Chain A
């Protein structure tokens, strides 16, 4: 009997852990999208107000971001530029996307917007560069709103699903 109880507890814990993981992923996506929005706004400020060159601007942005994984992305772009591995900033940005894709909870659409933000990066005049960053930020804002809505709508569902699926397995096995 004791073994059955322990087994049931283990199954319930595992299903709860799984549901929490799904919730955390949804929450992380919202936080990361918001962090990317903030990053793009900060980058626009560096471009618009102080005309700071990209490597230094990206470093500044990375320093100011609270979300570690997003900060690491901006650091990676900065490093790619400093190491001069790429012929332009677009290449450096896209390479950072490839390198950091696994560490972030973003969807294909989110990545597509971030990839588009790299088009012409550093190769445009100040006004055009600002427009480009603002456009990407607006698109990310829409994604973030959608992600927040998805999170709010699915949080309870995942929680119940975790408990109920755990219970279902326990009942089936017992």
Chain B
């Protein structure tokens, strides 16, 4: 929904325009969203209380009941160079959450080591909208619930959900199934959250997404040193792009991840493109570095 522009509905099948009586084919037939519509929708989403969702709005999104999300753009108010708040909203993007239970079953044998009964430190990599978070959520659920029939135990999983995308928390309660032994720290910065969880919940698996900042990388190292396994994601099209990010390159070079799984949406979201052994990848990276040197 963009102020002054046609209302658009986007589905797997493509883009549709919405008129007052339903779907229409031409943009000029579509309902033109007004700034008042956006304001009213925003107030409804926040229970008429923008102040109650300040922190989320500052980051440009709102978690909604059912695990859905709404993203916003508008005028950014800065204070000492940092985003203080978002005002005069000009567009809202409502994203309907879809839980795909069983989506990560194919990944499980690579993530879970049956002989050691341990979860491998794993990095899921893909471009945006290729199903990283869906896979991560399902992996968390599968590992948390365990499977007594196959002898896979349930693990204590802890999720740091900085943007409420993994568990889709609304008012602190996960709206999506992340497993029976899963603890969720919602809306907390990743680095801080990982350390909080390790200290307070003694997790066996720590899950977080969109790794990238140097402090996140340091926190991952800390978590690995405590003995917990790390499951996380990063945005990139391929390994080359991944190693161009210094903090991630550092983790890969040091072999912190035992598995690096490349995903795409070539055959639909969550298509497994390649699975790297972390040790081999690390060795390759070190050789490359020596060669360049």
Contacts and interface: CB of A to CB of B under 8 A. Distances in A.
A153 interface: no
Contacts of B117: none
Contacts of A156: none
B50 A124 contact: yes
A146 interface: no
Most central of B39, B43, B44, B51 by chain A CB within 10 Å: B51
B137 to A, nearest CB: 27
Interface residues of B, number: 15
A47 B54 CA distance: 11
A92 B48 CA distance: 10
B52 A53 contact: yes
B5 interface: no
Given A87-B40, A125-B85, A51 B54 contact: yes
Contact of B50 (A57, A81, A87, A123): A123
A121 B48 CA distance: 8
Interface string B34-61: 0000011001101111111110000000
Contacts of A88: 40, 43, 48
Contact of A125 (B47, B48, B51): B51
Interface in B68-86: 84-85
Interface string B11-53: 0000000000000000000000000000110011011111111
Interface of B is mostly: helix
A126 B58 CA distance: 12
A123 B89 CA distance: 12
Nearest to A88: B43
Nearest to A123: B50
A26 interface: no
Contacts of A92: 48
Given A87-B40, A125-B85, A53 B54 contact: no
Given A87-B43, A88-B43, A52 B52 contact: yes
Contact of B51 (A55, A56, A81, A126): A126
B50 A55 contact: no
B43 A53 contact: no
Contact of A124 (B51, B53, B84): B51
Interface string A125-137: 1101100000000
Interface of A: 47, 51-57, 81, 84, 87-89, 92, 121-126, 128-129
13 contacts: A51-B49, A51-B51, A52-B52, A53-B49, A57-B49, A88-B48, A122-B43, A123-B39, A123-B43, A124-B50, A125-B50, A125-B85, A126-B54
